[in-house]
Amino acid sequence: MADVGKTPVARNEKASSEFGYVGIDAILEQMRRKAMKQGFEFNIMVVGQSGLGKSTLTNTLFKSKVSRRSVMTTEEERIPKTIEIKSISHVIEEKGVRMKLTVIDTPGFGDQINNENCWQPIMKFINAQYEQYLQEEINIDRKKRISDSRVHCCIYFIPPTGHCLRPIDIEFMRHLSKVVNIVPVISKADTLTLEERDFFKQKIREDLRANEIDIYPQKEFDEDAEDRMINEKIRAMIPFAVVGSDQEYQVNGKRLLGRKTRWGTVEVENTTHCEFAYLRDLLIRTHMQNIKDITSSIYYEMYRVRRLNENNTKPNGQPAIHANGVPEHEVLSHEM
C-alpha cells in the first residue's frame, strides 16, 4: 500500500461552488426548448355590442385576420336573435414561437331590446370550458397535455359615451369578474378628447369600485412587491381607450395603422393618440403568462372546488366552505 502521507497535496477540503459550476441554470434552457416545441395556447373572448369594433381590434392586436368577421362567409350582417358564442382558432407564429390563438366572439350581446341576463350564456360557456378541463383531468387515462380551451381573458367593450358605466356594463362585469379575467376597454376612443377620456376613465373606475368589481390585474392576486409596483401603474391607467384599425396609411414617410379623417389621421400605435399599444403590451408582451396562470390557478381552481363540493353539501343545505376558508359567493351550478 503506497504511502500517501508522502505528498502533502491532497486535503479534505470542501470544494465550494466558487470552484466549479454545477450548471443548474441550464434547466431554464431545457424548459424553453420544451415550451418552444410544444407551443402555447391563448383563448381570448371579446364581448360588447355590435359595431363597437371588436373584430377590428382583435385583428389589430394579432396583426392578422383572426376575427370572426374575417372568416365569415358572405352572410348578411344581422343581429342574431339570441347571443351566439363563436369560437375561431388560428395558429400564428412569430420568431419561432408558435401560438394557437382562439378568439371567442359573442355576437348578439346587448343588442336585443330586452337584455336581461344576457351575461348568462357567456357564463355558461366559460363554465363549460372549465368543466371540460376538469373532466379531462379526472380521467383515468389522461392525455399528456390537456388541450386548454378555458377562456383566459375577456375583453369587454365599453361604448364611448363619456359619462359613466351603463347598467348592462355593471351587470355583466359584476357577474363575469368572478369567473374570468376581465379587461374592459373604451372602444372607438377617437370620439373622445383627452379631457373627456380622463374624466370618463375616472368615472368608470369609481363605478367599478362602488360595485366591487375586480378587473384584471386584480389587487388580491399580486404576488410580491415587484408585481404590485408594476400592476399599480397599470391599474392607474385602465380602462385603456383604444382605437382599432387594419388599414395602413402613410404618415411622415412611414406606413402606419390608422384611421384617416379629414381633420387628421389617428395612429393606432401612437400612444399620444390612443392606448392601443398599452393594451397590446399588457395582453401579449408582458402579462399573457400571468393571465393564463390566474385563470388556471385561481378561477379554474375555484370552479373545481365548487364542483367537487357540490357533490357533498352539508346535510342542513348550507354550501360547503372552500378548503382555504373562503365562503362561496353564490351557489352557481355548473349548468346554468
Nearer to another protein, 81 or 285 (CB): 285
Site membership for another protein, residue 78 (CB under 8 A)? no
DSSP states of 125-192 as a string?
HHHHHHHHHHHHHH-SS--SS----S--EEEEEEP--SS---HHHHHHHHHHTTTSEEEEEE-SGGGS
Residues 5, 9, 195, 315: which binds another protein (CB under 8 A)? 9
Which residues 32-61 are close enough to bind another protein by CB under 8 A? 32, 34-37, 40, 42, 61
Nearer to another protein, 246 or 269 (CB): 269
Give the other-Cβ count within 10 Å of 211's Cβ. Answer: 14
Nearer to another protein, 60 or 177 (CB): 60
Site membership for another protein, residue 25 (CB under 8 A)? yes
- Among 88-96, 112-120, 169-177, 188-196, the segment contacting another protein (CB under 8 A): 88-96
Least separation in angstroms between residue 301's CB and another protein is: 6
Which residues 273-332 are close enough to bind another protein by CB under 8 A? 277-278, 280-282, 284-290, 293, 297, 301, 305, 308-309, 311-312, 320, 322-324
Site membership for another protein, residue 16 (CB under 8 A)? yes
Site membership for another protein, residue 65 (CB under 8 A)? no
Q: Are 101 and 44 in contact (CB under 8 A)?
A: yes
Site membership for another protein, residue 26 (CB under 8 A)? yes
Q: Are 328 and 303 in contact (CB under 8 A)?
A: no
Contacts of range 80-83, beta carbons closer than 8 Å, 24 or more positions apart? 80/107, 80/108, 80/111, 81/108, 81/112, 82/108, 82/121, 83/107, 83/108, 83/109, 83/118, 83/121, 83/122
Least separation in angstroms between residue 298's CB and another protein is: 9
Site membership for another protein, residue 97 (CB under 8 A)? yes
Site membership for another protein, residue 22 (CB under 8 A)? yes
Q: How far apart are CA 177 and CA 129, in angstroms?
A: 16
Least separation in angstroms between residue 247's CB and another protein is: 16
3-state secondary structure of 230: helix
Which residues 128-187 are close enough to bind another protein by CB under 8 A? 138-142, 144
Nearer to another protein, 17 or 114 (CB): 17
Q: How far apart are CA 51 and CA 69, in angstroms?
A: 12
Q: Are 319 and 331 in contact (CB under 8 A)?
A: yes
Nearer to another protein, 72 or 321 (CB): 321
Contact letters (x/-) for another protein, 210-229, by CB under 8 A? -------------xx-x---
Nearer to another protein, 12 or 114 (CB): 12
Beta bridge partners of 47: 156
Using CB under 8 A, count the residues that bind another protein. Answer: 79
Residues 71, 85, 92, 170: which binds another protein (CB under 8 A)? 92
Site membership for another protein, residue 333 (CB under 8 A)? no
Beta bridge partners of 158: 186
State the chain's maximal CA–CA distance in angstroms.
100
Residues 111, 214, 246, 269: which binds another protein (CB under 8 A)? 269
Query: What stretches of 226-298 adopt beta strand conformation (E)?
Result: 240-241, 248-251, 254-261, 264-267
Nearer to another protein, 126 or 257 (CB): 257
Site membership for another protein, residue 236 (CB under 8 A)? no
Beta bridge partners of 259: 266
